[in-house]
Amino acid sequence: MSKRHALIFISLTLMLIGIFLASLTLGAGSLKIGQVISHIIHPGISSMEGDIIWKLRLPRIILALLVGAGLAVSGAVLQGMLRNPLAEPYTIGISGASAFGVSLGIVLGVGTSLLPVFSAGAAIITMSLVYIIACRKRFSASSIILGGVILSFFFSSCVRLIFSLAKTEKVHSAILWLMGDLSCADPILIKIISFIILGAIALLTIFSRDINILTLGEEKATYLGINIEFLNKLLFITCSIIIGAAVAASGIISFVGLIIPHLMRYLGGADYRFLIPASALAGAIFLTLCDTLARTVILPLEFPVGVITGIIGGVFFLIYLFLSKTKKVF
């Protein structure tokens, strides 16, 4: 590991601790940093502050950390695997699919607690479809993008069809979900999500050197001894699982998977042994920051977090493009 990479990791870790504590103190009913720390050290004490920290804020922050890390890592991996700078979790068709699943659920009148199931179900069906399309074409990068983009368009048309048929108030709640929401942080959900996302990130880290080679193109990677079909399938399935879990837990949160890997690549280079853990940390920081803003800026109301990530991410990415005009973005 180079000095530069070490420096980046140390800064990211400090930022992560900072945003974690800040996010615990901020919100409706501000707490002091000392209170927060003492409640974390002594979890048994039951008080109102303790309940706010342990039952409301902490689960939500942990969910934000996990989803942010998962989205950023899967974005980084998909960009390398598909060798496309615009690849992100939703390029492979998941966004359209879960939007469709949720819209369908709302129109059928199922309860909000069942919506994640509809979302995940639709995501899994889409992944399988993209997978089948890609398998027929030797599982190459272009067939995955093609399949994903086509299904994306198809499902977004289906969503509009459903919206045009459904009642207005139902459409409203569907739209809120589509904008991303971390408020349904249920302890069991968090346990499942953390198991899936952390496991998947660990697996991708093991294959980071293979991803480096894959960025040279599928032909050259074969000449360096990589079984392309196997690696593409492994990466695609692992990323899909991360995305499926993230979407089921929090709706559609855009931009994290796009900007975080680009920023990390700009700071520390393209080596995936660096890029995967750095993107995980930075994605976790970014989404927690955005969610803290989303629930504190217009108290007592809340923004959907996807709106914040979209606005901050969009502005940030534009600045980055302007500043880096002499260097290649990719």
Partner 1 sequence: MNSLEIKNIVFGYHKEEVLKNISFSVRRGDFLGIVGPNGAGKTTVFKLISKLLKPWSGEILYNGTNLNNISLQKLARSVAVIPQILETPFSFTVEEFVSMGRFPHLGRFQSLKKQDYKIVEEALLLADVSHLKFHRLSELSGGERQRVILAQGFTQTPQLFLLDEPTAHLDITHQVGILDLIKRLNKQNGLTVIVVLHDLNLASEYCDKVILLKDGKIFKAGSPWQVFTFNNIEEVYKTTVVVKENPISSKPYCFLVSEEEKQRR
Under the rule (CB under 8 A), what is the footprint of partner 1?
80, 83, 85, 206, 209, 212-213, 215-217, 219-220, 222-227, 265, 269-271, 327-328, 330
Give the three-state DSSP class for 298.
coil
Q: Considering beta carbons, is residue 2 or 157 the nearer one to partner 1?
A: 2
Least Å from the CB of residue 138 to partner 1? 11
Q: Considering beta carbons, is residue 31 or 203 the nearer one to partner 1?
A: 203
Cβ burial, residue 41 (10 Å; 0-12/13-18/19+) = exposed
Least Å from the CB of residue 133 to partner 1? 19
Between CA 260 and CA 169 the distance in angstroms is: 35
Dihedral of alpha carbons 202, 204, 205, 207, sign: positive
Q: Considering beta carbons, is residue 325 or 328 the nearer one to partner 1?
A: 328
Least Å from the CB of residue 269 to partner 1? 6
Q: Considering beta carbons, is residue 212 or 296 the nearer one to partner 1?
A: 212
Least Å from the CB of residue 79 to partner 1? 9
Q: Considering beta carbons, is residue 29 or 199 the nearer one to partner 1?
A: 199
Least Å from the CB of residue 76 to partner 1? 11
Phi then psi for 93, rounded to 5 degrees?
90, 5
CA distances in angstroms from 74 to 181, 265, 298, listed in the order given: 19, 14, 31
Q: Give 182's contacts (C-beta < 8 A, 6+ positions apart).
A: 60, 63, 64, 67, 249, 250, 291, 305
